[in-house]
Structure 1
Amino acid sequence: MTDLFADDAPMHPQPVSDSADAPLADRLRPEQLSQIVGQDHLVGSSGPIGRMVAAGRLTSMILWGPPGTGKTSIARLLAAAVQMRFVAISAVFSGVADLKKAFADAERAQAAGQRTLLFVDEIHRFNRAQQDGFLPFVERGTVTLVGATTENPSFALNAALLSRAQVLILKRLDDADLAHLATRAEQVTGRPLPLDQDARAALIASADGDGRFFLNQIETLYAADLDAPLDPAALGRFLQRRVAVYDKDRDGHYNLISALTKSLRGSDPQASLYYLARMLTAGEEPLFVLRRLVRFASEDIGLADPQALVQCLAARQAYDFLGSPEGELAIVQACLYCATAPKSNAAYMAQSHAWRSARQTGSLAPPAHILNAATRLMKEAGYGAGYAYDHDTADGFSGADYWPQEMEPQQFYRPVARGFERQVKERMDWWNRRRSTAEGA
């Protein structure tokens, strides 16, 4: 790889290329922080980066955001704004030897009175031990670390490193930001985009907030030297459809399953179906979604609609039988059933309270009258004495006390007055009144 740490490495960011042969993204690369698109909450005068630049002093930071939102440009311009030496490495291509050389060069620069901004792209790809290697140099001020990551730093980075760096969140570019980039591209090239207004909007939507991808698509359009503007259908045929940004073991995975769960819990079948589609069309394992639906049926619906669990298990069986794509309709049916079912977390809360009580009370013995007298000795010891067989009573309910003598009766399960649980609640209330009457007699 190119030696980024040689003595003649650039002390300041390289100027933006003016060559007409340079990639469009390079030609439009901002030359000052105020030109960064879509991140005013960070680089504006009241933002954390804007304030640091105004003070002339940087702290180490982690730039967390989606691809193509300006992380590299911000780091490059930060160094120029505060007159720092700029060194960039990528965790994809660098190892321990590269880091050692970068730190050694930074120490020599520090001795000469020059500060170093070390930009580490994809910093989450360094393992835990490599991340720990940054700590002494950050603490001593040998380098000001600016790391860039698309992954949640809470999970991807060491706690020790996070405690020494400020996490700054970049936003995905919205339609107005991308439209601004399109206008700048037209100004720099002196050519209008070969698209009608509807196709222009479709191109913006296809970028999914990624400015770099958007500019690359524009460059592809310019390179084709089209004779007439394209409409949305023609644009779709011309450009390959972009695959949804979704890593099945990373943030996209957890964010979308969280969105699906909360939409189901909020009884919004339309939003639930949207997030289900987002996951399945992006390649999520259908069985993962089915597992979450089965859990949801017990945790968030429970006995308010006992058929929810049946529907989800049937969907799992149907998917096993049919496979994709036919079996995905059964997943849709289960999703819609859960979204439109009455909700209750009473069973979930009952489990939580009962488990906690069981841990706290240890090995309390059940009352003797409900113990089985399997031997004569046990019968002589009082096992089973006074047991009331509920089926022999007039109402099929004896009202006996089944709790350990050392423990007051508890109320773990509190059904709600919704769905089938309304009937369960009515029965339980009746039983509780009968018990109260029996105890007062």
Structure 2
Amino acid sequence: MSNEPISVAAVQEAKKSFGMLFLTIFIPFGMGHFISYLYRTVNAVIYNDLATELHLPAESLGVLTGVYFLTFAAAQLPLGVMLDRYGPRSVQSPMLLIAALGSVIFALSHSEAGLLIGRGLIGLGVAGSLMSAIKACSIWLPVERLPLSTACLLSVGGLGAMASTSPLHAALHWISWREAFLILAGLTVAISAVIHFSVRGPFTPKNTRFSDMCREVGRLYRSWTFWRLGLYSVFAHATYMAILALWMGPWLHDVAGLSSSQMATALMAGTVAMVAGSLFFGWLTDYLRRYGVQPIMICGGGVAIFVLLQVLMLSGIAVSPLAITMGFSFFGTAATMNYAIVAQSVEPTLAGRVSASFNLLVFVLAFVVQWLMGAVISHWGSTDGHFPVVAYQWSLGLLIALQVPGLLLWLTFRPWKRVA
């Protein structure tokens, strides 16, 4: 697990080359994040097939979808250490093979236990997709460009979510959901090969002992600065992922009254909005920084609008389901900008560990939110496959209550103050 050492001058020259950046970051690592997001959100379209074929209640669907987040989270701390020690290429490529194995197991399973194992391995295997990309950006790019580069990578992830909506719904007319997961396994192996053979330096493996690097992770978790930067958006981020990964589809079906094809179209529009939101918030952050506007101002402002959209979902006010889905997806991307904000707060040698430490919080909470929403909805029971509106209102109300303290913390930062 090593790469050829490379000189500082060569690194600086490579940083100036857009073509090199495109080939070594945005294509291979972007493809990894693409497949990661596709796996994350695919259950929102196939949930009805899973529930019907395997007779799964809402709570089981929540756990089945959420176990992806749990294993994803469990990998984060060792992943951060490995990224800083071995580099993104040597970590990401073999991990994607684990995801491919999980996809095969998921496709061939006929029990809830088998599906859980497969889904868990998928989450474990793609756990490094975004973190590897952010680590690569921290090596190649000036620190002030991290928000924009992160936004571009997140938009590629949005394309993966887009592929899991109308395109997948259309494909399911010709193939089964099991065959779809076998195809995804093959695609994952191909992306692993692209990363392995196309990505080269600049990275020299660190000789630092694992114990020393792990101690630095512990120091991060003891830092009040880390917690303040993480907590103001982490519940919003977890809610964003959990709802888009599963519950947006049932909400459109049960509350908004959309058919399966209409639901897939609305989810497709939402993923277009996700891509647009990632690019917009990245561009806006990069543009306004020259005028002294802090990235945390843009991130927190977007999160506030995101919470207001959830209030609309809960209230029952007559608003187009398409508009709700697109607004939720667009403004929810603001929370993801905090990856770059946290990464900017440390030196590049710590970027992998601090990003992974923050990601651990996000994905543990995403699992909790995924399960919690399913548990609350299941409390009311279903009628002819539909859950009552009140079930969604209670679950959304609980999630909103968890996000409001973060917005209050954000206000204590006085984010409207400009920097020189």
Category of TM-score, reference length = shorter chain: under 0.3
User: Looking at CA atoms only, which structure, 1 or 2, has the larger radius of gyration?
Assistant: 1
TM-score norm. by structure 2 comes to: 0.22
Bigger proportion of residues as helix: 2
The structure whose RCO (Cα within 8 Å, separation 6+) is larger is 2
TM-score norm. by structure 1 comes to: 0.21
